[in-house]
Copies of this chain bind each other. A is one copy, B any other.
Amino acid sequence: MTTLRDRLYVVVFQSDTPAGRRFDKTLLLIILASLLVVIIDSVETVHSQYADLFAWIEWGFTFIFAVEYLLRLYCSPKPLRYAFSFYGLIDLLAIVPGILAIYYSDAQYLMIVRVVRMLRIFRVLKLSPYLKQANYLLAALRGSRQKIIVFLVSVSTLVTVFGTLMYVVEGPRNGFANIPTGIYWAIVTLTTVGYGDIVPITPIGQVLSAMVMITGYSIIAVPTGIFTAELANAMRGEGLQHECGVCHKRSHEQTASFCSQCGNALFKKAL
């Protein structure tokens, strides 16, 4: 016999049953709608005209999320553990700004933390092939973590050196107000963003920045190469799993026909 609480638990916390998935999907749509309202409300012309309407709508969303939070507390087998879990805190954070906004109108933008709740999207997609694809990407990222740290340390050093050099060469007169500004410029240039808010004026500065640009243009190859090689690895898999009949060596090169340890043919010819 299932009580109301048990049935609620299945709907609210699990996403394996049709009802649970429907609940999660509805929740996702509501979160998306609440984000959209925050975004639209930030437009001055809209805000000045419909301020009251938007305030009511946001109150509505805060109310819905509060009800959902209380429901989760009620039907969870271990309410305290939920309350202090990652998702529990996020769910709480989705309500707080709506209440704070009564006193501080700026607090309203904290509502954007609700975007973190969008992480639930991965629960809805749990059983879909998307997860496998995301796993490939994560495996590739994990495999290239150390290489990427080496890369980021090198980039940081480059950016510091060039930022300082440009500060010394160009000086505050040409917009390079201090070394942090120089570093900001170096990042803008190295990543090929190139706002143009700070640009070199002196010939030496232009030569230096040409060097930064060509460096940035070339070393984009490094993260790309790292990631591509790792992703190809992750997609190719681990090698051939086939136990050698003689020496029992279990994993071989992908294309092995003979065991590399004992020379025995791995596959008895059918003829």
The answer to whether A199 touches B199, judged by C-beta atoms less than 8 angstroms apart, is no
Residues of B within 8 A of A223 (CB): 217-218, 220-221
The answer to whether A253 touches B264, judged by C-beta atoms less than 8 angstroms apart, is no
The answer to whether A153 touches B255, judged by C-beta atoms less than 8 angstroms apart, is no
Q: Which of B161, B259, B261 contacts A112 (CB 8 A)?
A: B161
Asked whether A252 is an interface residue with its Cβ less than 8 Å from the other chain, the reply is yes
Residues of B within 8 A of A231 (CB): 225-226, 229
Q: Given A179-B42, A193-B194, A222-B137: A263 and B261 within 8 A (CB)?
A: no
The answer to whether A180 touches B39, judged by C-beta atoms less than 8 angstroms apart, is yes
Asked whether A224 is an interface residue with its Cβ less than 8 Å from the other chain, the reply is yes
The answer to whether B255 touches A265, judged by C-beta atoms less than 8 angstroms apart, is no
Interface size class of A (residues with CB under 8 A): 35 or more
Residues of B within 8 A of A188 (CB): 194, 210, 213
Q: Mostly helix, strand, loop or mixed at chain A's interface? A: helix
Stretch at the interface among A12-20, A50-58, A70-78, A144-152: A144-152
Q: Which of B130, B196, B263 contacts A257 (CB 8 A)?
A: B263
Instruction: Give Cα A140 to B218, complex, Å.
Output: 14
Asked whether A192 is an interface residue with its Cβ less than 8 Å from the other chain, the reply is yes
Instruction: Give Cα A84 to B263, complex, Å.
Output: 55
Asked whether A134 is an interface residue with its Cβ less than 8 Å from the other chain, the reply is yes
Residues of B within 8 A of A195 (CB): 194-196, 199
Q: Given A161-B115, A223-B218: A151 and B130 within 8 A (CB)?
A: no
Residues of B within 8 A of A180 (CB): 39-40, 42-43, 203, 206
